[in-house]
Amino acid sequence: MQSFQEIILKLKHYWAERGCIIQEPYDIEVGAGTMCPETFLRVLGPRPYRVAYVQPSRRPADGRYGDNPNRLYKHSQLQVILKPSPDDVIEQYLGSLEAIGIDLRQHDIKFEEDNWEAPTLGAWGVGWQVMLDGLEVTQFTYFQQCGGIDLDLVPAELTYGLERLSAFLQVRDSVYDIEWAKGFSYGDVRYTDELQYSVYNFEMADIPTLWKLFELHESEATRLLSLYDPKSPAKKRFPLLPTYDQVLKCSNLFNTLDSRGAISVTERVGVIQRVRRLAVGVAQAWADQQQEASAAQGAQ
Amino acid sequence: MALPFLLEIGTEEIPDWMIPGALESLHLLFEKTGIPHETVALDATPRRLVLRAEGLPERQPDTEERVTGPAKSAPPQAVAGFARKLGIRPEDLAVDSTPKGEYYSFVKKVKGRSTKEILAESLPGIILKIYFPKSMYWTGKGGPQFIRPIRWLLALLGDDVVPFELAGVRAGALSSGHRRLGSPEIAVTIADYEQRLRDHYVILSAEERRNRIRGQFDGIHVKADPALLETLVYLTEFPTTISGEFDPQFLELPEEVLVTVMRHHQKYFSVEGASGKLAPKFVAVMNIDSDPQGYVRRGNERVLRARFNDARFFWETDQKKKLADRLPDLAHVTFQAKLGSYLEKTERVMAFAKELGGDAHALRAAELCKCDLPTELVKEFTELQGVVGGLYARVQGEPEAVWQAVYDHYKPESMEDAIPRNRAGRIVALADKLDTLTGCFRVGLVPTGSRDPFALRRAAQGVVKIIIEGKLEISLDPYLADASLREFLADRIRYYFKDIRGFKYDEVNACMAAGWSNLVDLETRLARVQNLRSSPDFEPLAASFKRIKNILEQAKFTGAGAIDGGLLESGPEQDLYEEYKRIAGQPIEKVISRLRPKVDLFFDKVLVNAQDPRVRQNRLTLLGTLLKEFSTIADFSEIVTTS
């Protein structure tokens, strides 16, 4: 039987062999691997890129104090970006499942329409949820727009749900019973954070403090964005990546406030708009900054 | 020589529900080329759209084209130049006499273009014009758009490849088999195409896939579900069913919940036991040929178990708080930004229900109907809103009339769907829909074209269906102050009576012109007009009514005053007046045969436009009175007469 970590290592190895840069998880809380700069910003612009990384994805509202066998506050996604997507992208993807020991002549694979949209990121794409014996194991998306910008090259994004895939391979009914490494279960490694973050997110997070933090990060991002000058000769050194970090902070605080029940449905739309404005602002500035950079590189 | 033609557009997996429409569109586009052919057949799997035609000509017929050159008087160099351009000698030119003078000319034979050439030229455009509700770029911004990336193109005319290129893919003579059971590249001819696909685990015909799935139901009592069957037919290239089981303990959960999980979330067929009740079994459809090790069955059983466990958890969690106690929570659920929360909506629905004559049960149901929105089960299975509320109301001891009304209040969800089963349900459903309609129109959320995000058409259709089929004697006028809503609803009423109930459009227009605030009354009048129509007197009388209406309009008759018997001319005018007095107040069905000859005779013999203005005014008053008497059932001038 392959352990959780062996499955991850095999998938990383598989994609490394296909020309992917293997990145480590981004070190700021995100709700999905898509939000990491390695995806959100790299898909913009005309430069090809291939990257794979495991991203712990935090969804405060999905926490269940470690009680629910299928739901987690923090789950692990393997995020693969192939930009532009190769012609045999589906075959390559199916090959990755075979690389972790799934014999696709003995299992049922279906590609069911599932389009993806992230309003806070001004991003959308079309694709499928990939069903393996009735279980959704991967979200497969052809990005069309990011930060409100039409993409020059169409990237394929593959997002593997690693806990689900491992539970499937190890035939476990609860994610907590997955063998992470020899002698250690997923529960041994992760139960405590599921419990404690659920308590914090649902019961103890101080709402006024979270709002204050949200506003601080928002104003820092707004301040920085207002200083970006597309005409400046020195714009290449402008810190857009740190600006984007502020946006990610806002996004996570929004999610925490939401799980705390602090945002009414009416308010929600407005707060989403605020985050979206920042994300789209960064994406547009980034596309502008990269355009110059790649033009300069082409001239050399 | 007649040639067969085969086009296979090989793609990544197309959303199942778009496939039949895409085939229809491909068919139309092919017909538009005007290339003659005997038969066309269309087929598809998720990964291919296929058009096969037979009897195409090898080339178009040759044609002749007359080319006119310089005038006969032109210098010889010009004539020689003209001949050279045509590649002939000057002496081969003819001379035409035209009204403008004599000109050199030549009849050029134009060889018909080959069908292969025409196809090669038109196929890229045809393929890219196939209609899909949503499409994508895959080669990059500004590139071709299609529903999913095109990965191969197979185009054969007879034995030849039709050469063209699209999105970097060159058309050839290769198809592709099932993703895992077949080869990625298979050489085919038109004759062996379908068999070669079958050898590579692709069943091309949707009908055959459908029959294959149905044929494997044997011995299992699968609940018929044609929509799910269609989905699975277009989600697979080689469908094979497996049957699985689940723990009978889950049968404690409401059947609605279990079926929704199986159908919507897992695309499984439900199975009925001997008693007609749900059995702890399901049938799934795989896209492979067999499951000898039972991996697929066990995998699906585990997924279903997890889903059912979730549903049970939600069901039990939700029971901790009564439906009625959730009412204040609705203040935090927005119905629509400008129309407030669901708590506000509930208050409005209750007021509407009261106005519409709802009893205590209806009012209680109106109060509870939206309370399932904050439950975990509805958050997870939004398609079960209403149903879940009804189920909770039942468990929590609400009377049958109440829980059924909550359960049904989103009905009818389509024109085919039934209306709520009891009166309270009809009142609440009507109140809810009227609130949505009046509210949305008030704040300008009016459907435009195909955009109808609040499903107002469905709501309006529901209003019409519930009132008429539920025989609710209510007046719609108070709710239709907004002129655009009035017109919107009138459209739905016309649609209902014409397209669903089969009344003629002029009957509908005629009856609606006499008012439609009370739809039950409108239905009765429509039935009467429909009956009257078989009477031989009907159309002539309708024509006369139209004539009367025109005369009154031209004379700008205002309808003031009474008929002065002394001014009537004896004969047809007097007779008509006497007849009117005899039949006034009686239903038109009874008197039509007596009235018609009198009206005919009147128009035959009497000049309305009399010299004496008093006589004229009196005649107009007589006609106006007559028209008014019989226009409460319908405005007969709207009837389209054949004569």
Quote the minimal CA–CA distance from B118 to chain A in Å: 29
The reported pLDDT for the residue numbered B643 is: 56
Distance, C-alpha B165 to centroid of its chain: 36
**Shared-domain flag, residues A190 and A223:** no
The reported pLDDT for the residue numbered A185 is: 98
**Shared-domain flag, residues A167 and A209:** no
**Shared-domain flag, residues A30 and A139:** yes
**Same CATH fold assignment for domains B2-59+115-199 and B535-638:** no
- Are residues A111 and B13, on separate chains, in Cβ contact within 8 Å? yes
Fold of B2-59+115-199: Alpha-Beta Plaits (3.30.70)
- Are residues A109 and B341, on separate chains, in Cβ contact within 8 Å? no
**Shared-domain flag, residues A16 and A153:** yes
Q: Which residues contact B294 (CB under 8 A, 6 or more apart)?
A: none
In chain B, which residue's Cα lies nearest the Cα of A70?
A: B306
The shortest CB-CB distance from B284 to any of A134, A152, A153 is to: A134
Per residue in A193-247, pLDDT (tens digit) is 999 999 999 899 998 999 999 999 999 999 999 999 999 999 999 999 999 999 9
**Shared-domain flag, residues A71 and A176:** yes
**Shared-domain flag, residues A191 and A281:** no
Q: How many CB pairs under 8 A join A and B?
A: 109
Domain B324-504 falls under CATH 1.10.3210: yes
- Whether A300 has a pLDDT exceeding 60, the answer reads no
pTM across the whole model: 0.81
CATH number at residue A248: 1.20.58.180
Q: Under CATH, to which class is B535-638 assigned?
A: mainly alpha
**Shared-domain flag, residues A98 and A163:** yes
Q: Which residue, B358, B393, B361, is CA-closest to B375?
A: B393
Domain ranges in chain B? 2-59+115-199, 63-110, 206-319, 324-504, 535-638
User: Best residue in A106, A130, A138, A273 to probe B by mutation, most B CBs within 10 Å?
Assistant: A106
The reported pLDDT for the residue numbered A294 is: 56
Rg (CA), chain B: 36
Instruction: Classify residue A300: in a domain, yes or no.
Output: no
- Whether A299 has a pLDDT exceeding 50, the answer reads no
- Are residues B293 and A264, on separate chains, in Cβ contact within 8 Å? no
**Shared-domain flag, residues A172 and A254:** no
Domain boundary residue, one of A200, A227, A242: A200
Q: Which residues of chain B have pLDDT under 50?
A: none
- Whether A16 has a pLDDT exceeding 90, the answer reads yes
Task: Please state at what angle helix B519-532 crosses helix B505-513, rounded to 10 degrees.
Answer: 130
**Shared-domain flag, residues A141 and A178:** yes
The reported pLDDT for the residue numbered B626 is: 87
Tokens (6 digits) for A123: 């991003």
**Shared-domain flag, residues A159 and A212:** no
The reported pLDDT for the residue numbered A290 is: 87
**Shared-domain flag, residues A248 and A114:** no
Residue with tokens 């050839």: B172
Instruction: Provide the number of structural domains found in chain A.
Output: 2
The pLDDT > 90 percentage for chain A reads: 83
Domain boundary residue, one of A130, A165, A200: A200
- Are residues B303 and A128, on separate chains, in Cβ contact within 8 Å? no
Phi-psi sector, B413: left (phi>0), alpha (psi -120 to 50), beta: alpha
Per residue in A107-142, pLDDT (tens digit) is 999 999 999 988 888 899 999 999 999 999 999 999
Interface pTM, i.e. ipTM: 0.93
- Are residues A113 and B16, on separate chains, in Cβ contact within 8 Å? yes
CB-CB contact of A36 with A121 (8 Å): no
pLDDT band at A70 (very low <50, low <70, confident <90, very high): confident
Domain that holds residue A143: 4-200
The shortest CB-CB distance from A109 to any of B139, B287, B334 is to: B287
Tokens (6 digits) for B439: 């509210």
The shortest CB-CB distance from A106 to any of B12, B151, B293 is to: B293
Quote the minimal CA–CA distance from A56 to chain B in Å: 23
Instruction: Classify residue A126: in a domain, yes or no.
Output: yes
Per residue in B286-337, pLDDT (tens digit) is 999 999 999 999 999 999 999 998 899 889 989 999 999 999 999 878 788 7
Domain boundary residue, one of A200, A217, A250: A200
CB-CB contact of B463 with B430 (8 Å): yes
DSSP B222: B
User: Best residue in A93, A104, A109, A133 to probe B by mutation, most B CBs within 10 Å?
Assistant: A133
Tokens (6 digits) for B553: 């309009």
What is the rounded distance in angstroms from the CA atom of residue B178 to the CA atom of residue A196? Answer: 48
Tokens (6 digits) for B621: 């008053």
DSSP B59: B
**Shared-domain flag, residues A180 and A257:** no
The shortest CB-CB distance from A107 to any of B13, B268, B296 is to: B296
What is the rounded distance in angstroms from the CA atom of residue B267 to the CA atom of residue B229? Answer: 9
CATH number at residue A103: 3.30.930.10
What is the rounded distance in angstroms from the CA atom of residue B507 to the CA atom of residue B119? Answer: 50
